[in-house]
Amino acid sequence: MHRIGKVPKYTKKTGRSLNPLMQDLYDKVIATGMTYPQLEAVSGYTPYTFSRWFAQGHTANLEALIAVAESVGYEVKLVKKDGSDE
């Protein structure tokens, strides 16, 4: 199995960065050392989905973003701009 590359294919192909939220998710996935099939097993999303996000530059819907973030040990939290949680 091949590891996920340090730089998203989208960035390599287009020279543009991913959406900052998607780049952050990508970086967190890389930090785990997981392959796409391993990530699929824990998140329930397919390698095709990850390809759309990280190779084609699509942005995940909130449900998918939360599922993948939780699969790699993070939580998605909305925080008010002033820094409070309310």
Q: What is the band of 3 on the pLDDT scale with cuts at 50, 70, 90? A: low
Is residue 8's pLDDT more than 90? no
Stated as kind and residue range, the H or E segment containing 71 is: helix 62-71
Residue 58 near residue 52 (C-beta atoms within 8 A): yes
- The confidence score (pLDDT) of residue 15 equals 85
- The confidence score (pLDDT) of residue 85 equals 60
Both tokens of 18, joined, read 């991913």
Q: What is the model's pTM?
A: 0.80
Q: Which residues of 35-53 are buried (b: 16+ CB within 10 A; e: fewer)?
A: ebebbbeebebeeebbebb
pLDDT tens-place string over residues 10-54: 888 888 888 998 999 999 998 998 888 999 999 999 989 988 998
